[in-house]
Copies of this chain bind each other. A is one copy, B any other.
Amino acid sequence: MKTLQDYIDKLNALNFKEMYENDFFLTWEKTDDELEAVWILADALRYMREHNISTKVFESGLGISLFRDNSTRTRFSFASACNLLGLEVQDLDEQKSQIAHGETVRETANMISFMADVIGIRDDMYIGKGNAYMHDVAAAVSQGHKDGILEQKPTLVNLQCDIDHPTQCMADAAHIMRELGGIKNLKGKKIAMTWAYSPSYGKPLSVPQGVIGLMTRLGMNVVLAHPEGYEVMPEVLDVAAKNAQKSGGSFSVTHNMADAFKDADVVYPKSWAPYAAMEIRTRLYGDGNQAGIDTLEKELLAQNADHTDWCCTESLMETTKDGKALYLHCLPADINGVSCSEGEVEASVFDRYRDSLYKEASYKPYVIAAMIMLAKFANPGETLKALEERAVPRKMK
C-alpha cells in the first residue's frame, strides 16, 4: 500500500458497524470483516505515525487500565495506544483504591468512568473469572450510559483474560501476515502451537487458546501439540474445530512436538498450565486453602519436569518448512542458558529470531488503538481522512 487512501478504501469495503459502541472480548465473537478492520486500521495508524501525522482524535478523555497481574509489554502497549489517540492513561490500582468490601462491580465501574473512553483489563489468573469480570464491567458501564449516568460508553478492551489474549494474538497474526505476504497467503500454511517446558508453572492458557481460536479463522492448518495432561479449555477446542471447517483450514491435536514442527511454516512453542489444574487452583484460592495450593504447585512442577524435552531446539527447527519456519513468542521466553538452564527455546534459535520477535510485539499498540477507534468512531475512514487533511505533525520539525 502506498497512500492513506488505500487503507481507507480497504476499510470502507468492510462491514464493521457492529463494533461501534461495542467491546472487544474474544476474537471468535467477531466477524472476519471485523477482524480485518482491526488489522487494516492498525496498519493505517502505523502508516500515519511513520509519516508524522498526528492521530490524536481525542482532545481529552481517560483510558483506564486495570492490571490484576503484573505486566510490562501490555501495560506499555495500552499506554502507547491511548496516548497515540489523545487519551490519558489512569491506572486503577486496586491497592490504593477505596473499593469497599462487597462494593459492586457495577458501582466501581461507573464511578471511574465519568470521563473514560476506554477501559483495558488484564485478569487472567483464575479460570472462569477474568472474562466474566470484564463482561460485568462492560455491562455496568453500558447500563450507566443508557441510564444517563455516563455521557459516553467506555469501550472495554480485553488485555488478557482466562480464555483469550486477543490483543496479543491479533498482533501475532498481523506479524505473520507481514512476514508471509498478506492475509491471502495464510491459507494452507501450517502453524504449530506447541507446549514447551518451563521451570515455572501456572502460565496462563490465554495465548495457546487465543492462537488456535484465531489462526483457524485464516485458513491455516493449525496443530496444537502438548504432553498428555496439558489440555486447554474444551470449549476453545470446539471453537477451533468449527473455525477450521468453515475457513477451509484444519485443526488437530497431537502429543508429539516433532509431528507438530514437521514442515510447519510457523511455530509458537510456549509453556502453559493444564486447564484442569488451573480449575483446581481457582477453587483452592476461592477456599483460601494455602496448603492445597502449595501441594498443587509441587505436583505441577514435578509434572513439568517430566517434559523438559519439549524444547524448541535447532534440530526441531531444521525439520520445519525449509528449516525456516517463522518462530513466534509473546515474550518473555524462557531461554536455555539465559533466563534458566532448561526452558522453552535454545538460545541460538531465540537469537536468530530476536528482531522478528520484537517486531511481532510492535503490532500490539496499533492493534489496541485500532480496537478503540472502531468502538468509538462510527466512520473511522472519514476520521482518518480528516486527520490527514488536518495534517498536524506528531512531532514538530
**Residues of chain A whose beta carbon lies under 8 Å from any beta carbon of chain B:** 49-50, 54-62, 67, 69-73, 75-77, 79-80, 83-84, 86, 88-90, 92, 96-104, 107-108, 110-112, 114-115, 117, 144, 147-151, 331-332, 334-335, 338-340, 355, 358-359, 361-362, 364-365, 376-377, 379, 382-383, 386-387, 392-397
Contacts and interface: CB of A to CB of B under 8 A. Distances in A.
Contacts of A90: 76, 79, 89
A27 to B, nearest CB: 22
A80 B114 contact: yes
Nearest to A79: B90
Contact of A149 (B49, B117, B359, B394): B359
Contact of A111 (B58, B79, B331): B331
Contacts of A88: 79, 83, 88-89
Contacts of A340: 101-102
B84 A60 contact: yes
Q: How many copies does the complex hold?
A: 3
Contacts of A147: 355, 358
B98 A393 contact: no
Contacts of A386: 396-397
B103 A339 contact: yes
Contacts of A101: 339-340
Contacts of A377: 396-397
B332 A76 contact: no
A62 B75 CA distance: 13
A72 B108 contact: yes
A395 B54 contact: no
B57 A72 contact: no
